[in-house]
Amino acid sequence: MARGHRLPRGDGRAALAYLTPALLVLGGLMAYPIYQLVLISLFDYGQEQVSGGAPLVFLGLGNYTELLADKQFWTVLWQTVGFAATCVVGTLVVGAALAVLATRVRTWARTLLFLAALGAWATPAVAGSTIWLFLFDANFGLVNEVLGSTGFSWTFDRWTAFGLVAAQVVWCSFPFVMVTLYAGIKAIPQEVVEAAALDGASTVRTARSVLLPLLRPLILVVTIQSVIWDFKVFTQIYVMTSGGGIAGRNLVLNVYAYQQAFAASEYGLGATIGVVMTALLLLITIGYLRALRKSGEEL
């Protein structure tokens, strides 16, 4: 504006006008609850305190030391990590394979592929979980019918239950990876691939030394996105294992926090798990932002 150099405040005032509604909502509905979350996590806050039957006791970091000393917390934490890792690997392998497949087939086949994938993606998590439960139902499920194992319960055993949930999670999350990577592959100029072919590079060699490095930032982005999502899986575990499995052996952190707060009415402890989870995800997200910046995404 003023003789070629920007005013120090730029369009600050106009921008503020446009941003105010969004900032108000985020401030009121994110910042304040987060403050409350941290506050609750410092108190012994259970059913009696909510109803006013008992005085509030300030515990300081009491809930945190109790949580860290709890064996179940560590079991659940490792379970969450293992479960999320399985889902991420499954999602990436299926999604990437399909992205490559989509570049190889004819237009009508690709359209069919995309339609099927988007259908799975759009299915509400509750409906999707129910569908998969029915598919694997002990008595009338099609899978048992085909395998001739009628009566076998997939959700009873800890590991088959986790496997079933993971298959469902992959089912509804691979479309995102597939669509994103497909767009990434399409954005690579054909000449690059042709040049590699002219230089005598084999298919595998081209994929490994030319395409993979070009796609690396994008792969990193979808990986971290998947890590964040799969770490937060709630609905599928809650619905498919009836709230965390028999004696809570299929719990993941998200469901564990919910169960502590709502089923056991230990709001203080539930909030503590929430804070710990937030901290873990924050670390992953910072990694994500750095990866984004590296991939050249404008922030």
Q: How far is the CB of 103 from another protein (least distance, A)?
A: 5
For residues 245 and 247, what is the distance between their CA atoms, to the nearest angstrom?
Answer: 6
The SS3 assignment for 265 reads coil
In the chain, which ranges are continuous DSSP H helix?
12-26, 32-40, 47-51, 62-69, 71-104, 107-122, 125-135, 142-147, 158-187, 190-198, 203-206, 212-231, 235-240, 253-258, 267-294
CA-CA-CA-CA torsion for 218, 220, 222, 227, nearest 10 degrees?
-170
For residues 46 and 51, what is the distance between their CA atoms, to the nearest angstrom?
Answer: 9
Nearer to another protein, 95 or 161 (CB): 95
Nearer to another protein, 192 or 246 (CB): 192
The SS3 assignment for 273 reads helix
Q: How far is the CB of 73 from another protein (least distance, A)?
A: 15
Q: How far is the CB of 159 from another protein (least distance, A)?
A: 21
Nearer to another protein, 28 or 82 (CB): 28
Q: How far is the CB of 199 from another protein (least distance, A)?
A: 14
Q: How far is the CB of 150 from another protein (least distance, A)?
A: 8
In 105-153, which ranges are continuous DSSP H helix?
107-122, 125-135, 142-147
For residues 218 and 186, the answer to whether their CB atoms sit within 8 Å is no
Nearer to another protein, 161 or 274 (CB): 274
Nearer to another protein, 86 or 225 (CB): 225
Nearer to another protein, 89 or 188 (CB): 188
Q: How far is the CB of 210 from another protein (least distance, A)?
A: 9
What residues pair up with 57 in beta bridges, in sequence order? Answer: 44
For residues 113 and 101, what is the distance between their CA atoms, to the nearest angstrom?
Answer: 9
Nearer to another protein, 65 or 139 (CB): 139
Q: How far is the CB of 34 from another protein (least distance, A)?
A: 7
